[in-house]
Structure 1
């Protein structure tokens, strides 16, 4: 929102929310009816083409979003180092409004202007005319209109909304109040409408021209430089005809400079080119891939989880992961893409103080970790990621989610055994996960129930709680025997629960059954020590999220949620690697061993990470 919003700031379909796409329904339905009902000689292909073209623009936009986020995470040729935060993502979530506006106006023009219907697929003279008019009046008018928008009156009411984003993403280019975006449409319509009334317009002319506008807009806001200097060396005048991402980036960091649309010659004519333009261009081009101090190695969970990553749909990534039926329809495409690519890829980069962090993802899903024949492939990918991080000088690598399974790799121990000369420290984060669970247990608790799959976290919880004199109940005799065998003379702390009615604090691991959960007494607090949250079946109980903590304000560039966790909340396993590196600890934390829980907890709090406030309550007053 602009600092002092002017008239026509909001888009007309804002009250419709996610149903805003219905504004295209009349045009889409009418174009289909027109095509089906008319004779073959009367069918208007150009009218029918509008909707597929709008879909192409959506896909084109998403390609730029994903590509830009991937490149900026790697750091190669990145221009601005500041981070993007959730506030910017929320502000830019309506990036597709301008596509809807174009669609509505295209449908209206096709019905109301005779020369705008029944267009040929291609006319070269029309294409040439459109681009000449763009290079002439459009670039000139845009330059002065843009300068006018930086006058205090218009800037405070309209253009300041766009400039709220100092660090730009491709979709930042189309984030404007409705009135400003409509003015841009009128400006860009000059070449198209001239071609319409001159009878030289074609489907190809407006499709190529608008795709060109989208491409140049997204390129100028992508925050990484990729236009090779060779182009300007071979053809020096190109400097005045083609702007670069670094050229426009200066407009967002310095504001009153580099006003041009796509062709900078008016900035050179009117002396508004920033003096550091060339220096920033060469500096950005020479920038190498950023090396991380800490890498968190995670993996995809469900087929639709890839769209919730930072590289996927920006709006979905900014919310906790919740599977939806429409994204599940894309599962075959997702499975095919991950099978074809088949390599670990970078998801995001963050920074806390001077420590650089990255998240890498293995293209495997939860179900694949359960398949015996996938074990070798998964272990190979994990080991390759560890050795790659080691070669890049990474200090710590944490194993997230199922990458640290006992059956898979003995909690990561096999990688240390195979690579004894590793300099990177491999951390499974189990000590901090235990510390978080212990902190979540109410201070007044005198007994808890321990259930689910028994991992090394379960045994660590048992020992820690026994030292505190808290009674631990288990539901089956097998678990009772395992814990009793591992006990260190903790008399009276372990009991075999005869029923489910006494303990109202349940520490749950993987494998909690629906039957067990339904037998829990009303008001039970479920505290998971598992990697994945339990299924929420009860509305009369409390549920904690999986072990996690709030990130400190000093952690930058955090604008996507980690799986199902809320905003600016990180899993304990991920935080553990950050703390390990910041403290300079030199030991591995993997295998069946575990770091000192109290030491890790105090260090984590000391670096600004905070416990979550309360569990989620369902159906309770």
Structure 2
């Protein structure tokens, strides 16, 4: 049903609103509690999902080191269907037994009896039914869907077929109905049981081990009372063991405990405080603005798995995000953001906690460079092979395209790469081979210079927009003598009013864009991208490449890029690592290497868009 599925909450909402407006059953309605519980349940799952995706906190506690890919995210997209189903079941029970609305607010005895019903009825019933679902027919027709998720996460808990969700309704409902029938039901018991039930389901599916092994060493019997994320994860790899809901006691009675459960749990728990697996490659990114900060994997997984765009719910979250930004500005560290695997190597994205506009504040330069330097030194200590600088982190005015750090630390083992050689190659290969003339703004920048010199060698006339005659002549002298005639300095956009190929390295206002003839294509390497004012022209996106098909565990979109696509500087760093090049790619772009880097990228499976 898509988003229309949430209309199923309509009758509950209508009943609650009518009870308030017309005072029908005022104070006697359970609808508000059912709706409130649904909201709180979603919040429990979301908070658990956010925590599990905070790689900077959980990387050494992960049970499975694999990442969650787009395929799994899509298959689990409607993970909250079971919450809607249980809300409808609860509302039908309420219609049949309206006296439930007269339950007291709280009864401590009810909590005790609810726990007894859960341990004595729900747990063994779930164990038996779960084992039954693993029989050949039921597994192939129903239970396979839940096990189709490669890596467990909180949303995996809700990813199941309709039959399984009906069974879960019975399992979660038995303690509530039983406690109510013996006269100890209460509203507080209803909230407590449902939310604690969800909490432990999220815990088991979290893939993050948070229960210390010392707890079981000191109190051995506890291992049969409460399961761990490790214990449940084993069930997804060895499906003939560890069937329990929350209590391994029933696996012990049924002789279905995996004998290595506690040893594996001890190993993972012991590694929590130790140095984890170091990535082979790091892409050092930064936040663009307040809105884009909400595109992080630990905010909303579904939002992060699609290209970034402004959506209404972001506006409501802006004030809180702004406060977090201020806290990050005051005191913060570079943190791990996301990861993927490629040919047995681990690739991570680290984020410098600075926003785009801060890079243009003169007094912020020193602090930003300090963060970048700390990230490079940290990568060097961890044994990272290549660290690639994103966008503004390699700004020429900020640190000379990375030369500042290489000169300051000449003994670095990690290779520092700005990736702009591949960025230049991507832009150049987008330009039609039969083009005879192009207009280039930002012509004296690092990228602009490389593009200019390359095109001049191809005998393409380049209209270089620059006010500095000195900088123009410096670049012109770098070109071969027989190619210098193709470089032409212009000081206004009007000079390109007959040219249909514009390469933009600087922002262009609507007036400046208006000088382009109809049908012009704007190639661009300006951050952030230009606003598309002209409807009779086309606009290229920032230089990017599609990752090789054998990438695993990738479930995040890189800012506005589509799935599986990364900025060219990111791809350039990956190519640098895969080729095993030993030089630092910083400072000015070596024009002689542009074709070589492009061919290497294609050879490794990268594809132009």
SS in 2 for 1:161: helix
1:167-201 C-alpha deviation (Å, 9 max, x unpaired)? 11111011112332122112210111122233312
Which residues in structure 2 correspond to 1:31-42 (within 5 Å)? Answer: 31-35=16-20, 38=23
User: 2:320 — aligned with what?
Assistant: 333
SS in 1 for 2:54: helix
How far off its partner does 1:333 sit?
0.6
**Among 60, 80, 86, the residue aligned to 1:76:** 60
Using a 3 Å threshold, how does the CA distance of structure 1 residues 453 and 178 change in structure 2: closer, same or farther?
A: farther
SS in 2 for 1:564: coil
**Among 98, 112, 137, the residue aligned to 2:121:** 137
User: 2:435 — aligned with what?
Assistant: 445
Root mean square deviation, CA, Å:
2.4
Using a 3 Å threshold, how does the CA distance of structure 1 residues 159 and 517 change in structure 2: closer, same or farther?
A: farther
How far off its partner does 1:559 sit?
1.1
User: 2:297 — aligned with what?
Assistant: 310
1: CA distance, partners of 2:45 / 2:234? 22
SS in 1 for 2:267: helix
**Among 571, 574, 581, the residue aligned to 1:575:** 571
Deviant stretches of 4+, over 6 Å: none
* Structure 1, 205-214 or 529-538: larger mean CA deviation: 529-538
Which residues in structure 2 correspond to 1:95-244 (within 5 Å)? Answer: 95-244=79-228
2: CA distance, partners of 1:379 / 1:117? 61
CA contact under 8 A between 2:422 and 2:569: conserved in structure 1? yes
**Among 412, 415, 418, the residue aligned to 1:425:** 415
User: 2:242 — aligned with what?
Assistant: 258
CA contact under 8 A between 1:35 and 1:44: conserved in structure 2? no
CA contact under 8 A between 2:126 and 2:171: conserved in structure 1? yes
Using a 3 Å threshold, how does the CA distance of structure 1 residues 184 and 462 change in structure 2: closer, same or farther?
A: same
1:98-146 C-alpha deviation (Å, 9 max, x unpaired)? 2223333344444542332143332111111111111111111111111
User: 1:245 — aligned with what?
Assistant: 229
2: CA distance, partners of 1:299 / 1:260? 43
* Structure 1, 558-567 or 200-209: larger mean CA deviation: 200-209
CA contact under 8 A between 2:442 and 2:466: conserved in structure 1? no
Matched, 1:22 2:18: no
How far off its partner does 1:502 sit?
2.6
How far off its partner does 1:452 sit?
4.7
Which residues in structure 2 correspond to 1:379-390 (within 5 Å)? Answer: 379-390=369-380
Matched, 1:60 2:56: no
Using a 3 Å threshold, how does the CA distance of structure 1 residues 453 and 244 change in structure 2: closer, same or farther?
A: farther
1: CA distance, partners of 2:169 / 2:301? 25
User: 1:587 — aligned with what?
Assistant: 583
**Among 573, 594, 598, the residue aligned to 1:601:** 598
1: CA distance, partners of 2:37 / 2:268? 34
SS in 2 for 1:156: helix
**Among 484, 495, 498, the residue aligned to 1:491:** 484
* Structure 1, 445-454 or 194-203: larger mean CA deviation: 445-454
> Which consecutive residues of structure 2, in runs of 5 or more, have no partner in the other structure?
none
Using a 3 Å threshold, how does the CA distance of structure 1 residues 477 and 247 change in structure 2: closer, same or farther?
A: closer
How far off its partner does 1:457 sit?
0.2
1:386-445 C-alpha deviation (Å, 9 max, x unpaired)? 222222222221111211212222222222343333322221111111011111112222
User: 1:273 — aligned with what?
Assistant: 257
User: 1:5 — aligned with what?
Assistant: none
How far off its partner does 1:263 sit?
0.8
CA contact under 8 A between 2:507 and 2:526: conserved in structure 1? no
User: 1:509 — aligned with what?
Assistant: 505
User: 1:366 — aligned with what?
Assistant: 356
How far off its partner does 1:35 sit?
4.3
Aligned length: 595
Using a 3 Å threshold, how does the CA distance of structure 1 residues 455 and 202 change in structure 2: closer, same or farther?
A: farther
2: CA distance, partners of 1:459 / 1:427? 18
1:461-515 C-alpha deviation (Å, 9 max, x unpaired)? 00011011111124x4626764344113323312347544432222112312222
Using a 3 Å threshold, how does the CA distance of structure 1 residues 216 and 581 change in structure 2: closer, same or farther?
A: same
TM-score between both structures, scaled by the size of structure 2:
0.91
2: CA distance, partners of 1:184 / 1:359? 38
CA contact under 8 A between 2:462 and 2:486: conserved in structure 1? yes
* Structure 1, 519-528 or 28-37: larger mean CA deviation: 28-37
Using a 3 Å threshold, how does the CA distance of structure 1 residues 447 and 240 change in structure 2: closer, same or farther?
A: same
* Structure 1, 261-270 or 46-55: larger mean CA deviation: 46-55
1: CA distance, partners of 2:240 / 2:606? 39
Matched, 1:547 2:539: no
Using a 3 Å threshold, how does the CA distance of structure 1 residues 361 and 148 change in structure 2: closer, same or farther?
A: same
Using a 3 Å threshold, how does the CA distance of structure 1 residues 284 and 67 change in structure 2: closer, same or farther?
A: same
2: CA distance, partners of 1:226 / 1:294? 27
How far off its partner does 1:44 sit?
4.1
Using a 3 Å threshold, how does the CA distance of structure 1 residues 253 and 588 change in structure 2: closer, same or farther?
A: same
How far off its partner does 1:210 sit?
1.3
1:224-254 C-alpha deviation (Å, 9 max, x unpaired)? 3221112112221111111111111121122
2: CA distance, partners of 1:112 / 1:500? 76
SS in 2 for 1:364: strand
CA contact under 8 A between 1:115 and 1:197: conserved in structure 2? no
2: CA distance, partners of 1:137 / 1:503? 78
1:269-297 C-alpha deviation (Å, 9 max, x unpaired)? 22222233233223322344221121111
Using a 3 Å threshold, how does the CA distance of structure 1 residues 50 and 459 change in structure 2: closer, same or farther?
A: same
**Among 454, 467, 472, the residue aligned to 1:478:** 467
2: CA distance, partners of 1:37 / 1:532? 53
